[in-house]
Each structure stands twice: as structure tokens, then as C-alpha cells.
Amino acid sequence: MVYAERPMRPEHGGRVELRLVSDEQAQARYEVALFDAGTEWRAEAQIGDERALDVGAWSGPSAPPAWLEALAKTLLRGTVRQHQAEGSWPRRLTRWRPGPGSQE
């Protein structure tokens, strides 16, 4: 998984980015990147037939925060709903969240 551009890191909270790598009718593969102010995690996710979701092992210095990983899985499930409604897989999705306990 190699990106040409430098990822934008949030000053606070976390950001999830999904990029479509390949798709075949009811299946898709996404590169998943999670960011907080100081750390980046990456994994590959496979959405299979019957809406099965498999997120591979995370690369990074430690495991990502559970809330950020949960956000990524929620976005991936949303791509399945979008595919069912529109017939195409989203090419790229990016979402930022303030994180648990934030006053924003």
C-alpha cells in the first residue's frame, strides 16, 4: 500500500480514509487508513459476497483506538449499502470525528 501524497493528519480526533483498490460486482477491496494527531494505521479490507467484511491486520506502532477502528468498519458497511442502492462502489471516502470525550 503506497500513497504518493502526504496524508493529512488531524490536530485532534481521528480521520478514516477508504480507497477502492479493486471491485467485481458484489465484491470490493479497500485500503483503509486511520490517522490521529501522531499515528497512522493501515489495513486492507475485503467485502465479499453476502456482504462479508474482513479487515486485515493493522500496520502501525500499536493497535488503533477501538472507536477509530469502529468508525472504519461503519464506513465500510455503508459502502455495501451504497453499492446495493446505486450499483457502484464508492471510490474514496474520508471522515473525521472528534473522538470520545471530546467537547466538540
Domain boundaries, the chain: 14-93
- One digit per residue, pLDDT tens: the chain, 104 residues? 444 454 566 667 899 999 999 998 789 999 999 998 889 999 999 998 777 899 999 998 999 999 999 999 999 999 988 888 888 899 999 999 887 766 55
Q: What is the pLDDT of residue 1?
A: 46
Q: Is the pTM of this model over 0.85?
A: no
Partners of 44 in the beta sheet?
31
H/E element, 75: helix 66-86
Helix (H, G, I), strand (E, B) or coil at 50: helix
Q: What is the pLDDT of residue 99?
A: 78
Partners of 45 in the beta sheet?
30, 55
| Angstrom distances, CA of residue 79 to CA of 11, 19, 59 | 27, 11, 23
